[in-house]
Amino acid sequence: MCALTQPGAIMPNAIVPDATIPERHPAAMARIVMKFGGTSVADLDRIRIVADRVAREVEAGHEVAVVTSAMAGATNQLVAWCQALAPLHDAREYDVVLATGEQAVTGLLAIALQTRGIEARSWQGWQIPIRTDGAHGRARITAIDGAEIIRRMQIGQVAVVSGFQGLGPDNRVTTLGRGGSDTSAVALAAAIGADRCDIYTDVDGIYTTDPRIVPRARKLDRIAYEEMLELASVGAKVLHTRSVELAMNHRVRVRVLSSFADASDDNQGTLVVDEDEIVEKQIVSGIAYSRDEAKITLRQVPDRPGIAAAIFTALAAHHVNIDMIVQNISADGSTDLTFTVGRADLARARATLAEAQPQIGYLEIVADANVAKISVVGTGMRSHAGVANTMFRALADKAINIQVISTSEIKVSVLIAADYAELAVRALHTAYGLDA
Ligand code: ASP
Ligand code: MG
């Protein structure tokens, strides 16, 4: 069993030492995991195209395992059926229902591969098994036994594995949360010691920003895990965030590329790799934006020890996630405290704070959902000064007011009025020299 580090856990790589992962067949070129998303397997024609793509890698001499999503829209349909029967349904049965979308595709793809003369077989999460915790509907992978898959790859069999599913501690079917099949693919790649995990999707790579906003956005050849994590969590929804955490923890080389491009096209996609593998480092690699946040200001909060603890303990108890926080110095024994929460949590946050008003003792709550968070991300910031300043100057030149600022080692984020989000992204894209 290969124990997988829980994303976010500060454990060292808990994966089994490399020596225990059998070597690939001496003649094999590389061991690769190919993952196909819902739009890539949306119908039989697409599944045939996927089979051709897999066949090419097999014919090139690679050992191949395939991970698939359900057909585009299938999982939504399954969710709707559960909800139609009972809005508050048993999460264990919900997982049983949702896991069928992937199961169907693995069988179909195995058949399509067999008609191409390739020895293929389907694998469901429980058959491998892909072990998860018991959090139905959003389970985390805890361990994968890759031994049998490796053994069969070595004799030329292609494993077609259902993404998104696992087996809980009580041997019931679990699912990993929407979009989770990316995570299945990366975890499998780690467990079988794959050289690469190719994630085929409907975009041809990771861009410097959303090309719908900035037509001159550029496709990146390479991006560091940490940058990708920041970009994923702030709105560039190409990869499931947990898949990037896993890739980073286990050093899995991930390639994001299009399943729609012709084989003849230059379709190298974007490699998500360790920072050290990026030779031409950009100071800023990408600009992300998110409209999913809302701003809350507590006016005239008493300025004394324990107040911040009281506020954020109450919010945490109601599962409200906090992102940016600013607090002013106080002139008269009270201060204003501003922070952001997920927009979907705004009502719950307000109710929680209203209830805790007697303990906290603030004067009033001011909430604003009409905000956007814009972030510039780049590992080059570690070694370059003036990155934030360029951002502030570019926004000032467009007369865009900054409401809240937060920074990390490789990211500067600002909160601005939502109406200016696109203008800000375009201005920053130019200011950091990212325009194609
Ligand atoms: N089929 C699942 C979903 O739609 C998992 C995935 O596609 O990644 O969320
Ligand atoms: Mg996806």
Interval 160-190: pLDDT, tens: 999 999 999 999 999 999 999 999 999 999 9
The closest ligand to the CA of 240 turns out to be 2
Mean pLDDT, rounded, for 111-123: 98
Nearest Cα neighbor of 292 from 341, 339, 240 is: 341
Say which DSSP state 163 is in. S
User: CA–CA separation, 179 vs 241, rounded Å?
Assistant: 9
The closest ligand to the CA of 179 turns out to be 1
Report pLDDT digits (tens) over 331-361. Answer: 788 999 999 999 999 999 999 999 999 999 9
The predicted structure's pLDDT at residue 436 = 86
Taking the CA of residue 184 as reference, the ligand 1 atom at the shortest distance is 8
Domains and CATH numbers, the chain: 31-280 (3.40.1160.10), 281-431 (3.30.2130.10)
End-to-end CA distance of the chain: 46
Ligand 1: centre distance to CA 96 (Å): 14
Structure tokens at 306: 């324990």
Give the residue, out of 181, 199, 200, 239, with the most ligand 1 atoms within 8 A of its beta carbon, to mutate for a pocket test: 181
User: What order of strands is seen across the sheet that includes strand 165-167?
Assistant: 2-3, 141-144, 130-132, 165-167, 173-175
User: CA–CA separation, 25 vs 22, rounded Å?
Assistant: 9
Taking the CA of residue 38 as reference, the ligand 1 atom at the shortest distance is 7
Q: What share of the chain is helix, strand, coil (3-state, %, to 5)?
A: 35, 25, 40
The closest ligand to the CA of 164 turns out to be 1
Structure tokens at 68: 């698939």
DSSP H or E stretch at residue 413: strand 411-417
* pTM metric for this prediction: 0.86
Ligand 1: centre distance to CA 75 (Å): 6
Where helices occur in 318-381 by DSSP H, the ranges are 346-355, 357-360
The predicted structure's pLDDT at residue 20 = 55
The predicted structure's pLDDT at residue 27 = 60
Q: Give yes or no for residue 179 CB within 6 A of ligand 1.
A: yes
User: CA–CA separation, 36 vs 62, rounded Å?
Assistant: 17
Structure tokens at 434: 């990212």
Contact (Cβ atoms closer than 8 angstroms) between residue 187 and residue 248: no
Give the residue, out of 35, 69, 95, with the most ligand 1 atoms within 8 A of its beta carbon, to mutate for a pocket test: 69
Q: For residue 22, is the peptide bond before it cis, meaning its omega torsion is within 30 degrees of 0? A: no
Which residues sit with Cβ closer than 5 angstroms to ligand 2, an ion? Answer: 37, 179
Report pLDDT digits (tens) over 267-290. Answer: 889 999 999 888 777 889 999 999
The residues facing 407 across adjacent strands are 412
Ligand 1: centre distance to CA 38 (Å): 7
Left (φ > 0), alpha (ψ -120 to 50) or beta: where does 76 sit? alpha
Q: Give yes or no for residue 75 CB within 6 A of ligand 1.
A: yes
Report pLDDT digits (tens) over 252-261. Answer: 999 999 999 8
Ligand 2: centre distance to CA 416 (Å): 29
Statement: residue 11 has pLDDT above 80: no
Query: What is the average pLDDT score of the chain?
Result: 91
- Nearest-CA residue for ligand 1 atom 4 is 75
Q: Give yes or no for residue 164 CB within 6 A of ligand 1.
A: yes
Ligand 1: centre distance to CA 102 (Å): 8
The predicted structure's pLDDT at residue 235 = 58
Statement: residue 266 has pLDDT above 80: no
The predicted structure's pLDDT at residue 231 = 86
User: CA–CA separation, 211 vs 287, rounded Å?
Assistant: 11
Statement: residue 13 has pLDDT above 60: no
Where helices occur in 142-240 by DSSP H, the ranges are 147-154, 181-191, 225-233
Q: Assign 25 a pLDDT band (cuts: 50, 70, 90).
A: low
